[in-house]
Each structure stands twice: as structure tokens, then as C-alpha cells.
Amino acid sequence: MTSSAIPSGPGAPGLDIPPVTVTPGDSGTTTVTVRNDGDIVEAYSLEVVGECAPWSTVEPARVSLYPGTSETVTIRLDPPRSPEIRAGEKPLGVRVLPTEHPDAVRVLETTVHIGEFRELQAELAPRRRRGWLRGRYRLAVRNQGNTPVGVGVTAGQQGEELTFAFKPASPKLEPGESTEIGVRVRTGKPAWLGAPVVWPFTVDVAEAREESETPDDEGVVPARLDAEFVQIPVFPRWLLVLLAALLALLLAWFALVRPAVRSAAEEAATQAVQPRPTPPAGQGDGTTPGTGTGGAGDQPGGGQEPGAQAGPDGGGTTGGGGGGTGGGQQSSATIDLQTATGETKTGTYQVPKGTVFGVTDLVVANFQGDEGLLTISFGDRKVTTIALETFRNQDYHWVTPIKIPENETVTVEVTCEKPGTPANGRRAAGCHEVLNVSGLLSLTTR
């Protein structure tokens, strides 16, 4: 606190107010003594003028003095703790206005030294980030002090699994200025499997001190912010469950469907291994006149070999080859079978009377991609059972023909579960399969 005497009256000499020091957020006072050197009673009004006026008061602001008397007036300074009250020197003026002699008004001046204070506000967003290897955060920093400061940022964790980078690394802020610092967190290695790993860490914001400053200098109180980085695995649990389900379906197909198809084919091949009968007497030259017509078949000696014949339910077509050798002539038959959804239907080809059909080739066409079950039988022998959805074209071949005697049938049975989509792109109304069977058609001897 300082004081000075102010002689009042015409011709009185002026005195300056001594300088005063105050820190924003604190209070400072000084005093001025007002003396009436005149010969009448005088009233004086005192008022602070200048930059310090908004946060300065005079107590009392008005005094009345008899001639030859004096009174001490207090000037109180209360600067707010704000970046707007910058550190340094500011002028302070006190105007003294006599009521009876207004022409004798005086303004006393002094200097107010505003002390420094440092304060940083920091906010980290987000506090929790997820990623495979790295995470990015935003650090907002504001200088709430009244002097420029350099900002220093450091980060740490309990272990050494994380590395940190800051951009910009050490910004400098004026009073009231804000900036945003990018914080990048990175792990040393990825987590391939398992549950997410949580890495907690801290970010400290403090003043970046100059080399000339001593450890005793009053600085910014560091601000510590807590955050987390959640490292997610490269292969999450739901993906592992999906892969396991797909693998189980694949193993089930190899374990159940494929062996059934293979065993049926092996059974048919085993049945096909039969000794070939010796041609009867009188036919040793191995020639047969004429060409087969594919009808119901002529009697031996009629000059023609019997042809193939389609069954009544199969809608098949038949055809005969040219004149053959003593083993018979080439012949083939086609069974065209159409089945409604949810139904089971059978198509047949019957070996003509007086002939033996030696089957060497079998071709099944599922050109629509239907779903269901198909069974092929030669008489009472089941050749194969196969799921429709496992093939579009399937063929079987035998070196030794499978003999089917007269009046026996080649039978194809189809159970239609779901029609497929043919080449036109529109789903079919029902299942449609075609079976072609070919081999040697020979006359029997009686």
C-alpha cells in the first residue's frame, strides 16, 4: 500500500501516486491524502480513469473538508484472473474534482505493474479409441494465462507396448489463444485372435520451459488426462465361428455325400464284371445282315436285328446302329423324365423280347441344376443313387457290358425337391432329367 498527500487549493503543487504491483485474481491498494488549503469548505470527487478503471474503486469517492483539514482516500485494485489482463505495466489515473473550484481539477497518474500468471486448459477427445494397430486423438489446449507460454505434451503407460507422436510437438500460445494437437498412439504388433486388448495411458500437458528458466520459476500446473486404446483382433470371434461352420459343412459333404456316390458307382462296376456268353452254333461267323430300325425287334432269321425301345412312362427315343459283328449291334435309348416339385416319378426302357441288351455307357443330364435324388436300376439291380445338386452331367462307362435280359427294364427314378434355373435365366416349373443308355443289342438263342 502506498500513499501521497494532495494539497488542494489555488496554486497548490501536484504530487504523483507511487507505482503499485498486483497480480490478476488478487487485490492491491494504495492511498492518497486530500488536504484543503483554501479558506472555504470544499467537497472533492475522486474517480479512477484509464485502462484500470473497470476494476478499480475509490473509497470514499467523495470527501468534504474544512479549511486546513485533510482525509486519506483508498484506491483499491481488483484485476480479474483473465487472459485479457495481460502481464506488464498499465497507466492508472485518479481525477480529483473540487466542487467549488471546478477549474482546479487535477489528474494524478501512476503505473500499475500487472504480475504474470500461467494457466493451461486441456481436453482430449475421444477418451477411448478402437483400432487394429493405431488410434488418433485430438488434444485441445487453451492458454488461460496472461503471458505467452510454450506447450509441452508427454504421454506414458505402465508398460512399453505403446508409442506416441504429437503434431505439432511444442506450440506456443499467446494469452487467450487455443490450438489443437494431434496425438497418435501405435502398438508394436497386431493381435491376431482372441478378445480386444485395452491399453490405458495418460497425456500430460505442461509448460515447455526455456533453458534460461530456473527450476524455481513458477510455471503451469501440469494437467493429466486419462485415455484408452482398445486394440481389436485381426480375426474377430464371429469370423472364426463362420469359418468353423463352413469347415464343418465341407467335412460333412466329404464324409457323407461323396462316399455314397462313390460306393454306388463301385457296386455298379462290380455287377458289370460278368463272363461273356459264347455265341451259339450257327452264328460263329459273327455277321448279322441288315440294319436295326429301333422297333420292337424281329424274330431271328428275319434279316434285321432288334432296335431299342423306350418305356411307356419315360417318353424315350430309340435308335439302332449299322450292321454289327457277332456280338450284336450298337443301340441306344433315351429316357426323358419330367417331375413336378415334391413328387417322385419313374421312367423306363424295356429290353425287347428275344434280345439281350449289353450296356456299356450311361449318361445322365441335369441341365437345369435341379435339386433332389436320382436312382438308376438295371432290372432289380440298383446301379447308383446320386443327389441332383451334385452334378449337371454325369456319365458311367463299362469295358465289360452289363447284360440286361429280355423284358427287363432300365429304370430311372427322380424325386424332385427344388427345380433349378436353365440357361434362359427363369426358374423352371419342375425338374427335368434326361438319361441316355447305350450298348450292344444281341439276339437270344432258343
Give the pLDDT confidence score for residue 24 in this predicted structure: 93
pLDDT score of 304 more than 90: no
pLDDT in the model for residue 214: 52
pLDDT (tens digit per residue) in 90-127: 999 999 999 988 998 999 888 899 999 999 999 999 99
- Residues of the chain above pLDDT 70, percent: 78
pLDDT of residue 258: 64
208-212, 260-264, 435-439: which range is least confident on average? 260-264
Q: Does residue 431 register a pLDDT over 90? A: yes
Is the predicted pLDDT of residue 16 greater than 70, yes or no? no
Lowest average pLDDT, out of 16-20, 301-305, 346-350, goes to: 301-305
Q: Is 389 left (phi over 0), alpha (psi -120 to 50) or beta?
A: alpha
| Residue type, position 251, single letter | L
Enumerate the β-bridge partners of residue 180. Answer: 140
Residue 308: its pLDDT value, please? Answer: 39
Q: What is the pLDDT of residue 253?
A: 83
Q: Which residues contact 312 (CB under 8 A, 6 or more apart)?
A: 348
Highest average pLDDT, of 195-204, 216-225, 254-263, 282-291, comes from: 195-204
Residue type for 207, please?
A: E
Q: Whole-angstrom Cα distance, residue 52 to residue 114?
A: 10
**Predicted TM-score of the model (pTM):** 0.48
**What is the rounded average pLDDT of the residues 40-47?**
93
Lowest mean pLDDT among 15-29, 124-138, 282-296: 282-296
Provide the pLDDT confidence category of residue 371 given band limits of 50, 70 and 90: very high
Greater confidence (323 vs 144) lies with 144
pLDDT given at position 262: 61
* Lookup result for grid cell 492518497: 32
pLDDT value of position 236: 72
Query: In sequence order, what E strands does 168-302 have?
Result: 172-173, 178-187, 197-207, 223-231
Residue 83 has pLDDT above 70, yes or no: yes
Residue 58: pLDDT band (50, 70, 90) is very high
Q: Would the CA dihedral through 317, 320, 321, 326 be positive or negative? A: positive
Average pLDDT of the chain to the nearest whole number: 81
Asked if residue 15 has pLDDT above 60, the reply is no
Among 376, 352, 389, 368, smallest CA distance to 437 is for 376
pLDDT of residue 291: 35
Query: What is the spatial distance between Cα 34 and Cα 15, in angstroms, rounded to a whole number?
Result: 11
- Residue 190 is classified by DSSP as -
The structural domains of the chain, ordered by start, are 5-114 (2.60.40.10), 120-209+220-231 (2.60.40.2310), 306-443 (2.60.120)
245: enclosing H helix or E strand: helix 237-252
pLDDT at 269 over 90: no
Nine-digit cell at 241? 465361428
d(CA 187, CA 199) in angstroms, rounded, equals 9
Q: Which residues of 207-231 are buried (b: 16+ CB within 10 A; e: fewer)?
A: beeeeeeeeeeeebeebebebebeb
- Quick one: pLDDT at residue 186? 92
User: Which of 294, 293, 324, 157 has the alpha carbon at shortest distance from 231?
Assistant: 157
Average pLDDT over residues 241-257: 83
pLDDT at 139 over 60: yes
Q: What is the pLDDT of residues 163-175, one digit of tens each?
A: 999 999 889 999 9
Residue 245, C-beta contacts closer than 8 angstroms, at least 6 positions apart: none
pLDDT at 242 over 90: no
